[in-house]
């Protein structure tokens, strides 16, 4: 009888551990760690700042502390906060929390998340920070209207798929991208009310690319990449000819590198199933004669500082420096992301088994004229008709980037 009891206890422990591991996995791929953990702070204790058009919002303490965290949340309270954006006391959360996407989380995944937060996350009594939003804009009640207009009711989601079932893999990928991964938060354009213009592939605006915090989140529709290239970017932050930077680098470090191989494959297959249905903007080729400063003036600067890694022809170096050809930061109309990379540098994510590649910052080494000229040279050479960046444009970009 004792042996039976011990065996039952072991089986129960294994079952709980598996459930908690699943909860931690969902927390990772949902980016909970990255958003609710500030640098140097306790995990999930909040305090990370998110600049928004109405002011700075700080993430909250979601540890199981009963005073500052969510320790007093029932499962129903937790589910309502995660999938509907309504806190335990009834006030609506700011949609900086991607609950419109989390509405697609399955019951099993939300239950696993709840068990993980209540039993595996270490409680922290770190007080929540007050949001820095002017009082005229800080009222919460309009968010009920916003939710009614722009969010959907929670839905039943797709379970894990078998790797030999392509249709099921694409459905699983759609669930991961549209739900826990909330990829549309960055890669989908926003409307006047700061709402994502689409939350699913039913609309061609979904994942069609957007500017966010001075970075460009490129279109994920019709990327022209292979399945392996997409998986490599998700799991390591770089592939043979491309690399991520800016906000996406943190996403890879804190979230997507933890994807299982099957889930990374599912996401890649889903993204490959998306077609670019929006008509491409046709830009007239920028002629050198129309430029007040010839882009060729930046060629010397490029050859001196950039060509060692990116090559004289902009092809980059395999598995190291990304190609500038078809590079989203070069192709996008707004030159801000390109300026930020050149001026402030960039670094690929630090991931398990992957060495980070760091591009140095040249902001303190180049004069304003050299910066303008090298940006124009890169855009003219590989930006397919991007227009000139003037000295006045550069001044505005520099001011906005500090």
For residue 148, pLDDT over 90 is answered with no
Confidence of residue 70 (pLDDT cuts 50, 70, 90): very high
pLDDT score for 11: 39
Confidence of residue 15 (pLDDT cuts 50, 70, 90): very low
Mean of the per-residue pLDDT values of the chain: 86
3-state secondary structure the chain: CHHHHHHHHHHHHHHHHHHHHHHHHHHHHCCHHHHHECCCCCCCCECCEEEECCEEEECCCCCCCCCCCCCCCCHHHHHHHHHHCECCCCCECCCCCCHHHHCCCCHHHHHHHHHHHHHCCCCCCCCCCCCECCHHHCCCCHHHHHHHHHCCCCCCCCCCCCCCCHHHHHHHHHHHHHCCCCCHHHHCCECCCCCECCCCCCCCCCCCCEEECCEEECCCCCCCCCHHHHHHHHHHCECCCCECCCHHHHHHHHCHHHCCHHHHHHHHHHHHHCCCCCCCCCCCCCCHHHCCCCHHHHHHHHHHHCHHHHCCCCCCCCCCCCCCCCCHHHHCCCCHHHHHHHHHCEECCCECCECCCEECCCCCCCCHHHHHHHHHHHHHHHCCCCCCCCHHHHHHHHHHHC
pLDDT score for 115: 97
Q: Residue 62 burial (CB < 10 Å; 0-12/13-18/19+)? A: buried
List, for residues 83-114, the tens digit of each pLDDT value: 999 999 999 998 889 999 999 999 999 999 99
pLDDT score for 97: 92
pLDDT score for 282: 43
141-148: average pLDDT? 85
pLDDT score for 2: 44
List, for residues 230-269, the tens digit of each pLDDT value: 999 999 999 988 998 888 988 999 999 999 999 999 999 9
pLDDT score for 366: 93
Percent of the chain with pLDDT over 90: 58
Confidence of residue 20 (pLDDT cuts 50, 70, 90): very low
What is the rounded distance in angstroms from the CA atom of residue 333 to the CA atom of residue 376? 12
Percent of the chain with pLDDT over 70: 87
pLDDT score for 90: 93
Between 82 and 4, residue with greater pLDDT = 82
For residue 145, pLDDT over 70 is answered with yes
What is the rounded distance in angstroms from the CA atom of residue 370 to the CA atom of residue 394? 11
What is the rounded distance in angstroms from the CA atom of residue 77 to the CA atom of residue 68? 15
The pairs formed by 178-181 with CB atoms below 8 angstroms and a separation of 24 or more are 178/101, 178/104, 179/101, 179/102, 179/104, 179/105, 180/26, 180/29, 180/30, 180/101, 180/102, 180/105, 180/109, 181/29, 181/30, 181/31, 181/101, 181/255, 181/256, 181/267
Confidence of residue 293 (pLDDT cuts 50, 70, 90): low
For residue 66, pLDDT over 90 is answered with yes
For residue 307, pLDDT over 90 is answered with yes
For residue 190, pLDDT over 60 is answered with yes
For residue 385, pLDDT over 80 is answered with no
162-174: average pLDDT? 83
What is the rounded distance in angstroms from the CA atom of residue 236 to the CA atom of residue 249? 9
List, for residues 352-375, the tens digit of each pLDDT value: 877 788 899 999 999 999 999 999
For residue 72, pLDDT over 80 is answered with yes
pLDDT score for 155: 62
Confidence of residue 133 (pLDDT cuts 50, 70, 90): confident
Per-range mean pLDDT, top range of 120-129, 282-291, 341-350, 354-363 = 120-129
For residue 33, pLDDT over 70 is answered with yes
């Amino acid at each position: 009888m004792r042996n039976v009891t011990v065996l039952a206890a072991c089986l129960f422990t294994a079952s709980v551990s598996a459930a908690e591991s699943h909860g931690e996995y969902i927390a990772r791929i949902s980016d909970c760690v990255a958003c609710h953990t500030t640098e140097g702070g306790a995990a999930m204790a909040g305090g990370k700042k998110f600049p928004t058009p109405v002011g700075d919002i700080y993430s909250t303490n979601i540890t199981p502390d009963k005073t500052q965290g969510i320790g007093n949340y029932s499962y129903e309270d937790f589910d309502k906060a995660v999938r509907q954006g309504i806190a335990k006391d009834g006030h609506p959360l700011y949609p900086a929390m991607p609950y419109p996407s989390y509405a697609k989380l399955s019951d099993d995944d939300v239950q696993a998340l709840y068990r993980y937060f209540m039993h595996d996350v270490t409680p922290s009594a770190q007080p929540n920070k007050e949001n820095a939003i002017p009082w005229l804009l800080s009222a919460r009640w309009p968010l009920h209207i916003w939710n009614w207009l722009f969010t959907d009711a929670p839905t039943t989601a797709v379970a894990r798929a078998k790797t030999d079932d392509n249709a099921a893999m694409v459905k699983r990928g759609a669930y991961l991208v549209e739900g826990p991964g909330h990829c549309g938060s960055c890669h989908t354009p926003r409307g006047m009310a700061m709402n994502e213009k689409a939350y699913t592939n039913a609309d061609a605006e979904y994942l069609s690319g957007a500017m966010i915090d001075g970075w460009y989140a490129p279109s994920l529709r019709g990327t022209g990449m292979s399945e392996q290239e997409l998986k490599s970017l998700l799991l390591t932050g770089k592939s043979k000819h491309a690399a991520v930077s800016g906000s996406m680098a943190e996403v890879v470090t804190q979230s997507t590198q933890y994807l299982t191989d099957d889930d990374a494959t599912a996401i890649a297959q889903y993204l490959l199933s998306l077609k670019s249905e929006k008509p491409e903007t046709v830009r007239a080729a920028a002629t050198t004669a129309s430029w007040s400063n010839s882009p060729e003036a930046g060629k010397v600067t490029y050859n001196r500082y950039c060509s060692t890694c990116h090559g004289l022809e902009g092809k980059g170096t395999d598995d190291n420096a990304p190609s500038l050809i078809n590079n989203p930061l070069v192709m996008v109309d707004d030159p801000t992301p390109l300026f930020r990379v050149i001026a402030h540098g960039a670094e690929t994510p630090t991931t398990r088994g992957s060495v980070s590649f760091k591009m140095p910052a040249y902001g303190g080494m180049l004069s304003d004229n050299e910066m303008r000229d090298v940006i124009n040279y890169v855009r003219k050479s590989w930006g397919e008709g991007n227009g000139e960046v003037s000295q006045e444009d550069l001044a505005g970009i520099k001011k906005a980037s500090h």
